[in-house]
Amino acid sequence: MSDNPVIALIGPGAIGTTIAAVLHDAGRTPQLCGRTAHPELRLRDDEGETVVPGPVLTDPSVVTRPADLVFVAVKTTQNADSAGWLRTLCDENTVVCALQNGVEQKAQLEPWVNGATVLPSVVWFPAQREPDASVWLRAKPRLTLPDVPQAKRVVDALQGTRCAVELSADFATVAWRKLLQNAVAGLMVLANRRAGMFSREDISALGLAYLREGLAVARAEGQRSMMTLRRRSWRISSAPRPI
């Protein structure tokens, strides 16, 4: 990657705003792309506020050249809606880092990225949109990436920022574990309750059954390294909110 790489971000929601803010703090402000125009992005945490200058672009035709690195932070259901951005921001030299949940980011994005390399990630930080359109970051940001040569571009971009980057030689297993974690945490959303609800025996049993079903799917997909689930080693009462 060049000394002054062109970095773009598609989807300035909670996760996207966090990444944009840490890049901006390090002097690597990304080009902001989305569906809704905003003059700026604001990230708040316990240490203060970062304002990322905009505007958020809404028309892909204004892009004049491909980016070296593109962060995609839209929901997977919005990939097709982002096709215009991906076509104009990507070429065969671009690395696309998917800041999305799930285990199929690469397959889901590759049809839209104009020959670019898609790099999946696991996002480990909770961030939420506030009523005033700012984003509240509730924990130190951290990403896990597969240990492949293309990951260096993301590592370099985030070097010296507040966002830690870890590389994993067994990324697929990490991604599956995160998917299962989010799935069980989703039960809290459905019940509108906190993690303490898992102290109930029936709710704990439901969560365990849900995890076992997910583990069976993971193994059927070839993830033989997934650990066998044991009740005594699973502290579901500390399950975090989904990210």
Residue with tokens 């303490």: 196
Q: What is the pLDDT of residue 227?
A: 56
Rg (CA), the chain: 19
pTM summary value: 0.88
Out of 106, 140, 152, 178, the active site residue is 178
106 is catalytic: no
Tell me the C-alpha to C-alpha distance, in Å, between residue 10 and each of 73, 107, 187, 193: 6, 18, 29, 32
Q: What is the pLDDT of residue 238?
A: 47
Task: For CA atoms 121, 122, 126, 129, give the dihedral sign.
Answer: positive
pLDDT digits (tens, 9 = 90+) for 14-35: 999 999 999 999 999 999 999 9
Identify the H or E element spanning 189.
helix 171-191
Decide: 144 and 171 in contact? Cβ < 8 Å.
yes
Here the tokens at position 3 are: 């000394």
Domain architecture of the chain: domains with CATH: 7-169 (3.40.50.720), 172-238 (1.10.1040.10)
Decide: 26 and 7 in contact? Cβ < 8 Å.
no
**From 50-59, 88-97, 158-167, 213-222, the region with the lowest mean pLDDT:** 213-222
pLDDT digits (tens, 9 = 90+) for 34-90: 999 999 999 999 999 999 999 999 999 999 999 999 999 999 999 999 999 999 999
Decide: 98 and 72 in contact? Cβ < 8 Å.
yes
